[in-house]
Amino acid sequence: MVPPGEVRLALEGTKRRLRYLFLRQFGVQQVVPELVILNKSSGEDRTEEVIFDGRRVARLSYDLQTQDYSLMLRIDGARMLAALNSKKTIVLTKASGHMKGQYLPRDAIKSFDAGIRAGDEVVIQMGQFIGCGVAKVDAPRLKTSPKGVKVRDFEKGGEWRRRKKSWTRAMIRANEQYLAAIKARAEHEIRGAIDSHDLPVTVSFSGGKDSLVALDLLKSVTSDFSTIFVDTGLEHPWTREYVNKFASENGLGLLTASAGDAFERNFHAFGPPAKDFRWCCKVCKLAPASELIEDRFPNGVLTIEGNRRLESFSRSRIEVKEENPFVPGQLVVNPIRDWTALEVWLYIIWRKLRYNPLYDEDLERVGCWMCPSALASEYKEIARAHGGLVRAWQADLEEWARQNSLPADFIKYGFWRWKQLPPKMKELSDRLGLEVERTRSDKLRLDVTKGASPCTAGGFSVEGVLRMPTADGLAEVAEMLKTIGDVKPVEEFGVAIVDSRLGRGKAFAGGQMSAVAETQSKSLELFDSVSRAVLRANMCTRCGICERTCPQSAISIDESVKVDGDKCIRCGKCTDSCVVAHYFDKLAEPLRADAKPRQKRRAA
Ligand code: SF4
Ligand code: SF4
């Protein structure tokens, strides 16, 4: 099985799709068993190994260019289809064991399906030999073209036989003891955390499968807990409905933290969120969650969550207990961190838990419906089944693209989902003949007018301009600079001067900045800090995260952020927690050539 082995059960929507694809590609019906396992593997979009009866039969993938699904056969899939006399079959007169990876010798072809077209997946048969491959030409040219069929795999022997016990309920029965053991282990961890911390207990319930399991485990341990649901304003309506219904049916005290229209309000300044710049998570999720926790649990809270290591790279190192760096006072417990998606699904079915109906729509992600981390295939599915949701978002994206002089295909093919395009998207733009910048610029830009270079007065200096969609006054910039050092605003020249341990920085309300320090690296580090302060001053969303993060209670937020310079110890925690400040990472490419890797800011 392809690593990392994030296997899961295929639910009804996925099985429906597989039935359709087997019929469309190979003309076979009733081929998809009740129990289908999928294993996630790498690819440009959705890519999964399809496992029937414990054997890999095909690879299911979504093509970004054609915006369609297809199946790529594995050798066991060819065996299965041969047993069903499927279409798209080529019969040979002779065979050898060395055809794998080669083109099929045209003189070896005895007969073939006249419906084969270039690009089709084909089954290759010869006596006891079986193979799979892809046709490179249409059927009429198969016997004349020297490169008519590329063989992917070719083997002697083996047969396809359907297993009688290939049913989900049989799988549950066979794994009942194992499921009971992992349940007991997770409950033990939850109980241990509750006993060792004198804190109120909550569970984070998003409406997804993992948080459903976390909730069920907690229910088995105690009834004394609250359930937190963060409504980002972008939740799929079915998810919102499911969460509320589940809570009332199960008598749960549901606390909803709502982001209201935070997404719409911030879209203008930030542009669409991206996989590598998910400002929406902080603004629409962490900010309302931390506000709710501060209001309801001012002395701290223990929260059980359904985070799993296999979910993503960023979660691959989660521990059993962790402090949430963005929600002060929240201690998170991750009892199912080592579970696979298959274990989660088996548990849900074993425990007869009612899950979110969106999973039966062949969706793997049931939270924010327009999440940039979703796959293009998932967008397509949402657009197909819930068009009303997508139309307004699509119109906003198209308007944003127009304002930023981006081609319409930038939206159609999903390029907006990255600030910096990964190689696969660069390749796609080349295939499509689209001219797309590697870095999405939006309206926010950093122009470095003078890289870190020797100063006539001694030391090194860096100069640049932040071009922003909004520009606040000097007072706001001066406030933010207090987190770096001692600030002196000079109204007359519209500049705020900051003296820090690194050197002297200057920032103008219009976005011009400079940093002078003894060494090149210090000048770059100071410029980095000044830039983040200017960004925060001008693009603050008033999310309140920095106020809650500050260990000195030096920040207050009213119409704008105010910093008490006497209390501030320049620890940098407010900047590290601020979504706006992180925007600088995406803008700082021009500086990277000179800069050493950015350290965590401490007392600039
Ligand atoms: S400066 Fe504070 S309130 Fe403003 S966006 Fe950053 S974290 Fe939120
Ligand atoms: S978090 Fe640290 S740097 Fe920011 S205001 Fe508080 S004390 Fe100052």
In a domain, 598, yes or no: no
CATH (domain of 556): 3.30.310.10
Q: Is the pLDDT of residue 172 over 60?
A: yes
Q: Between residues 361 and 590, which one has the greater pLDDT?
A: 361
The CA 578 to ligand 1 mean position distance, Å, reads 5
Is ligand 1 within 6 A of the CB of residue 543? yes
* Same domain flag for 478 and 541: yes
Q: What pLDDT is stored for residue 307 in this prediction?
A: 95
Nearest Cα neighbor of 503 from 486, 479, 526, 478 is 526
What's 492's DSSP letter? G
Distance, CA of 99 to CA of 101 (rounded, Å): 6
Q: Which residue type sits at 582?
A: H
Residue that is last in its domain, among 156, 183, 202: 156
Angle between helices 209-221 and 176-196 (to 10 degrees): 70
Q: What pLDDT is stored for residue 278 in this prediction?
A: 82
Q: Is the pLDDT of residue 600 over 60?
A: no
Point out the ligand 2 atom lying closest to the alpha carbon of residue 555.
Answer: 5
Which H or E element spans position 534?
Answer: helix 520-539
Q: What pLDDT is stored for residue 598 in this prediction?
A: 42
Select from 573, 576, 601 the residue to mutate for testing ligand 2; criterion: most ligand atoms less than 8 Å from CB.
Answer: 573
Is ligand 1 within 6 A of the CB of residue 137? no
The CA 187 to ligand 1 mean position distance, Å, reads 37
* Same domain flag for 354 and 397: no
Which residue has a Cα nearest atom 5 of ligand 1? 540
pLDDT tens digits for 443-466? 677 888 777 778 777 789 999 888
Pairing of strands 55-63, 445-454: unpaired
In a domain, 457, yes or no: yes
In a domain, 551, yes or no: yes
Provide mean pLDDT across the span 76-92.
Answer: 94
Per-residue buried b or exposed e for 195-211, using 16+ beta carbons within 10 Å of the residue's own CB: eeeebbbbbbbbbbbbb
Distance, CA of 465 to CA of 448 (rounded, Å): 6
Is ligand 1 within 6 A of the CB of residue 576? no
Strand, coil or helix: what is 291? Answer: helix
pLDDT tens digits for 37-57? 999 998 889 999 999 998 999
Q: What pLDDT is stored for residue 602 in this prediction?
A: 46
The CA 75 to ligand 1 mean position distance, Å, reads 55
Distances (CA, A) of 192 to 107, 195, 204, 209, 319: 71, 5, 18, 24, 14
For residue 329, what are the domain limits? 175-358
Q: Between residues 283 and 592, which one has the greater pLDDT?
A: 283
CA 218-220-223 angle, to 5 degrees, is: 70
**What does residue 239 show for φ and ψ, rounded to 5 degrees?**
-70, -45
* Same domain flag for 202 and 347: yes
Select from 266, 545, 563 the residue to mutate for testing ligand 1; criterion: most ligand atoms less than 8 Å from CB.
Answer: 545
Question: What is the domain count for the chain?
Answer: 4
Q: How many other β-carbons are positioned within 10 Å of the β-carbon of residue 30?
A: 9
Provide mean pLDDT across the span 211-234.
Answer: 96
Task: Look up tokens 């007018």; give the residue.
Answer: 449
Q: Is the pLDDT of residue 473 over 90?
A: no
Mean pLDDT for the chain overall = 89
Is ligand 1 within 6 A of the CB of residue 544? yes
Q: Is the pLDDT of residue 470 over 70?
A: no
Instruction: Quickly state the pLDDT bin for 353 (edges 50, 70, 90).
Output: very high
Q: Between residues 220 and 402, which one has the greater pLDDT?
A: 220
The CA 577 to ligand 1 mean position distance, Å, reads 8
Residue that is last in its domain, among 156, 190, 219: 156
The CA 391 to ligand 2 mean position distance, Å, reads 42
Q: What pLDDT is stored for residue 541 in this prediction?
A: 82
Could you please report the per-residue DSSP string of 544-603? -HHHHH-TT--EEESSSEEE-TTT-----HHHHH-HHHHHHHHH-HHHHTTPPPPPPP--
Residues 6+ apart with CB under 8 A from 335: 186, 187, 189, 190, 214, 217, 304, 320
Is ligand 1 within 6 A of the CB of residue 560? no
* Same domain flag for 417 and 293: no
Q: Is the Cβ–Cβ distance between 471 and 538 less than 8 Å? A: yes
